Amino acid sequence: MCSIAKFLFEARMLKEIPRSGYHFLGSGRESVAEHSFMITLIAYAMAEIRPEADALKLLRMCLLHDLPEARTGDLNYVQKQYVTALEQKAVEDSTRDIPFGTSVAELIREFNEGKSLESRLAKDADQIAFILDLKALSDIGHRPPRKWLPIVLGRIQTRTGKYLCEQIMETGWDAWWMENYME
């Protein structure tokens, strides 16, 4: 059981690791763990929209996709041009001694390959989480996200992801609040 405890402490580190892309926006912040929660929630909605997707696999994939960042840190697109994270080694080392390590490693591998329906939905959820942040920042007056939105929207692959993005772009970040606002 000690190996599982170590694995959980390692995963806990994701709460402490900031997502590095926000530095370029000039506003916003998020930990890797917060990001993982958000994309898992988005994936839940996607699984409800696409019942042919294996919901459990999709949710697990989203929950685990950034686990290697507990060892490698979060590298943004610019940093990845100069630094190569040994993600496969990080996955192997973090899962070697846990009884379900093969399952974890397989889910991360499948996510990275992006070939299955679930991995394509998970990759879209990964981008949609960022789109939600960009849209919210834009809605409250930050200008840099307006440059980024078309780029990130262009990364969406699935019809489900495109449908959700259309809804997001047509909805104010505070619409849920304003609908229920009472004095």
Over residues 54-107, the pLDDT tens digits come to 999 999 999 999 999 999 999 988 899 999 999 999 999 999 999 999 999 999
- Contact status, residue 164 vs residue 128, Cβ threshold 8 Å: yes
pLDDT at 23: 78
- State the pLDDT confidence band at 183, using cuts at 50, 70 and 90: low
pLDDT bin (cut points 50, 70, 90) of residue 153 is very high
- Sorted by sequence, the CB contacts under 8 Å of residue 135 that are 6+ apart come out as 145, 149, 168, 169, 173
Structure tokens at 75: 């590298």
- Structural domains present in the chain: 2-179 (1.10.3210.10)
Q: What per-residue confidence (pLDDT) applies to 113? A: 97
Residue 121 CA to chain centroid, in angstroms? 11
pTM for the whole structure: 0.93
Residue 21 pLDDT: 81
What does the pLDDT look like over 108-151, one tens digit per residue? 999 999 999 999 999 999 999 999 999 999 999 999 889 999 99
Q: What is the mean pLDDT of the chain?
A: 94
- A 10 A CB-CB count for 162 gives 13
Cβ-proximal residues to 31 (8 Å cutoff; 6+ apart), any chain: 14, 15, 16, 17, 18, 19
How many CB atoms lie under 10 A from the CB of residue 180? 7
